[in-house]
Amino acid sequence: MGSRVVPLSIPNHTMNSIGERHETEDSNHPILLSGDKYSRDPILNPGPLGSPLRRDRSPLKILSDEEQDLEEGKLLKSKENKLLVGPVRVYNQALLSGFAYCLSSCSMILVNKFVLSGYDFSAGISLMLYQNFVSVIVVSILSLSGKISTEPLTWRLVRVWLPVNFIFVGMLITSMFSLKHINVAMVTILKNVTNVITALGETYLFGKYHDTKVWTALALMIVSAISGGITDISFNAVGYLWQFCNCILTASYSLTLRRVMDTAKQATKSGNLNEFSMVLLNNTLSLPLGLFLVLVFNEIDYLTTTPLLKDPMFWIVITSSGFMGLAISFTSMWFLHQTSATTYSLVGSLNKIPLSLAGILLFHVPTSIKNAMSILFGLLAGIFFAKAKMRERSQS
């Protein structure tokens, strides 16, 4: 669903959303793309975790005795960690940023589910388009006011990035369609398949080695996805098909982004491309493509007849979803600045547990003991995968 972008300095291990405005939304969080919470969420939407973002590009000014060298992958401990907001100093930023990230990530997915299923809104592409438009407006305002730094969108950069953007838009749209037909808990578990596809892609495209524990965790994810589908009382074949397409596109986005990043950096004036620039680039390029798809899928007829567009509360809800998608990008970067990628990955996996429970309870999803056990098994497999990836990184 919209404004999330995949940080790239750390190996990919899928989470998610986003797609979903996806997200990117997990132990490998694709990027911070806005959108379905999955596609926009580095945690629910699997993808690489690191970030080339410099400390001085952060939207938040951290007052510490020692600098953190994030570009070199080192995090130097500071004697004092506090954030100055006006005259007020906020302590325990790691805890605060982690809570903000989890809250925005979960809220994005639940709000999108509410719009698509609760309101029975049948124009998923239009929802994605509107959310991306909100992200573009907000990031542009922040950039013009000097609060954040973004790269100019030159034709050279656009030409390099365009192929990636096609995958990005497809990721967000398929995430929207799957979320409309499948309950939140099952979407969360099925998102684990993205990790499997990504790991296979890393092995065959980049020759990356994964140890036995990682492959074991991936096998457990496959088992949980299959058992979850078999025991899903509200099984919807169309929704599962869309979700499978989303997993392929999400993994493709992560893998393709790695190849394009170096070329894209060379196409910028500064030689760097931070997350804010990627958010602006992805969402800006998605607008004409999204508008074209709205016409192709003939959503205009639906939009002109649905009474929802006359409901002020509906506009408030979908606008808030756009802000939430963007919030995932900001809180993810803030959280990464305050902790390590290891903590970020683990929190992403743990974040799936309350999200799945909230999805079942808030939307009164019919379930069975077998299905609940399959969901729990998949959540635990995700945590095991995150820990295996952490161990793998520490050894390498």
Full DSSP string of 119-135:
S----HHHHHHHHHHHH
224: number of Cβ within 10 Å: 24
| Dist. CA 157–CA 169, nearest whole Å | 18
Helix (H) or strand (E) holding 88: strand 88-91
Burial of 359 from C-beta contacts in 10 A (0-12 / 13-18 / 19+): buried
According to the model, what pLDDT value does residue 352 have? 83
Are the C-beta atoms of residues 314 and 142 closer than 8 Å to each other?
A: no
Residues comprising the chain, all counted: 396
CA atoms within 13 A on the CB side of 171: 51
Burial of 223 from C-beta contacts in 10 A (0-12 / 13-18 / 19+): middle
| Dist. CA 380–CA 374, nearest whole Å | 10
Q: Which of 51, 49, 59, 44 is nearest to 1 (CA)?
A: 44
Q: Give per-10-residue mean pLDDT for the chain (396 aa).
A: 43 39 40 41 42 37 39 38 45 78 88 92 94 94 91 89 92 92 91 89 85 88 90 90 94 86 84 84 93 93 93 95 87 76 69 85 86 88 84 76
According to the model, what pLDDT value does residue 345 have? 66
